[in-house]
Amino acid sequence: MTLAATAAHLATGPATGAAAGPHGFLSPTGVEIAFLLVGLVTFGAALVTVTTRQLVHAALWLVVTLGGLAVEYLLLTAEFIAWVQVLIYVGSVVVLLLFGLMLTRAPIGRSPDADSGNRWAALTVAVAAAAALVWVVVDAFRTTWIDLDGPAAGSTEATGASLFQNWVLPFEALSVLLLAALVGAIVLSRKAKADTATPAGQDTGRDTEGAR
């Protein structure tokens, strides 16, 4: 990490900040190369996630995507975010999703109808959106340079100091939101009363609660 940062610094020379520097795309730094490679893996994993016909595989490829993103955070010197990413996403969200897949009796193996009939429209929209976004972003930030030298911008210390100095109130409010979500999830997934006839074999609500 430090090596890469130093290499980047060496490569970029004295120019810093947002000013248009002499950093060319044809002479990438080591961090950039690493970022690019991890980014390619992440993007590929994401593509597989949204296209695979095996539902459980989709969840597993999602793990790869999210892990790749965590690495990207690390490369951007945001270490705290990276660990949170690993903890919450890879650790809990994906597990929850896998539970969900199992509880809804998702088929194991290739399911021929994983994609709906809306696929071509979705592809058109997505490609168009991607083209527009990439065009705009590249057009706007092609000369912008991030200086990754110096103390890490997202170290635990920096993040903690900012969070508990400037963002205490939203942070506390967030806890309330999480509580509300917890209660909501319980209420929603609770087994319906006996008079609303539950289809046989569908009484999985208690398990869901247990998972929660």
Partner 1 sequence: MHLAYPAVLSALLFCTGLYGVLARRNAILVLMSVELMLNAVNLNLVAFDVWLSRTAEETLHSGQALTLFTIAIAAAEIGIGLAIVLAVHRNRGTADIDKLRDTSERHDPDGTDHDARTAEQSDEAQKAEATA
Partner 2 sequence: MTTTTLAVLVPLLPFLGAVAGLLLGRTAPGFVRPLAVLPTLTSLVIAALVAVRQSGDAAVNAATELTPTGSVPIELALHIDGFAALVAILVGLVASCVQIYSTGYLRDDPRYPSYAALVSLFTSAMFLVVYSGDLIVLLVGWEVMGICSYFLVGHYWETPQARAASLKAFLVTKLGDVPFLIGLFALATDAGSFRITRVLGAVASGSLDHPTLIALLLLAGVAGKSAQFPLHTWLPDAMAGPTPVSALIHAATMVAAGVYFIARLLPVFEASQAAMVVLAVMAAVTMAGSALAALAQDDIKRVLAYSTIGQLGYMTGALAVGDRGAAVFHLLSHGAFKALLFLAAGVIIHATGTNSLAAMSRMRNLRDRVPDAYWTMTVALLALAAIPPFSGFFSKEAVLGVAEHVITGHTEHAPAAAGWIVLIAGLLTAVLTAAYATRLWLLTFRGRGTEAPDHGRQPLTMTVVLWVLAVPSLAFGGFAFRLLPDWFDGRDLSPTLTTSVLGTGVALVGGIVTYAAWRHTTALTARVPLGAVSAHPEGDAAQVEAEAIASHEPAYGDIAHAPDPADPGRLLLGPLHRHAAAGFHLDAVYTTLFVRPVQAGASLVRFLDREVVETYVRGAGALPRWLGAAVRRAQTGNVQTYVSALLAGTVVLVVAVVLVATGA
Q: Rule CB under 8 A: which of 134-193 touch partner 1?
A: 134, 137-138, 141-142, 144-148, 150, 153-154, 158-159, 162-163, 166-167, 170-171, 174, 177-178, 180-182, 184-186, 188-189, 192
110 DSSP β-pair partners: 54
CB of 71 to partner 1, least distance (A): 11
Count CB atoms within 10 A of the CB of residue 174: 11
Q: Which amino acid is at 165?
A: Q
Spatial separation of the C-alpha atoms in residues 72 and 39, rounded to whole Å: 7
Check residue 80 for interaction with partner 1 (CB under 8 A): yes
Check residue 136 for interaction with partner 2 (CB under 8 A): yes
SS3 154: coil
Contact present, 30 and 8 (Cβ < 8 Å): yes
**By rule CB under 8 A, what count of residues binds partner 1?**
104
Check residue 84 for interaction with partner 1 (CB under 8 A): yes
Beta carbon nearer to partner 2, 126 or 192: 126
Check residue 128 for interaction with partner 2 (CB under 8 A): yes
Check residue 37 for interaction with partner 1 (CB under 8 A): no
Spatial separation of the C-alpha atoms in residues 204 and 186, rounded to whole Å: 13
Contact present, 171 and 56 (Cβ < 8 Å): no
- φ/ψ bin of 201: left (φ > 0), alpha (ψ from -120 to 50), beta (otherwise): left
- Binding-site member from 2, 118, 165, 196 for partner 2 (CB under 8 A): 118
Check residue 137 for interaction with partner 2 (CB under 8 A): no
Check residue 104 for interaction with partner 2 (CB under 8 A): no
Q: What is the C-alpha radius of gyration for the chain, rounded to an integer number of angstroms? A: 22
Which partner, partner 1, partner 2, none, binds residue 91 by CB below 5 to 8 Å per kind? none
Residues 39-78 contacting partner 1, CB under 8 A: 39, 42-43, 46-47, 49-50, 55, 58-59, 62, 65-66, 69, 72-73, 75-78
Residue (of 96, 90, 83) closest to 66 by Cα position: 90
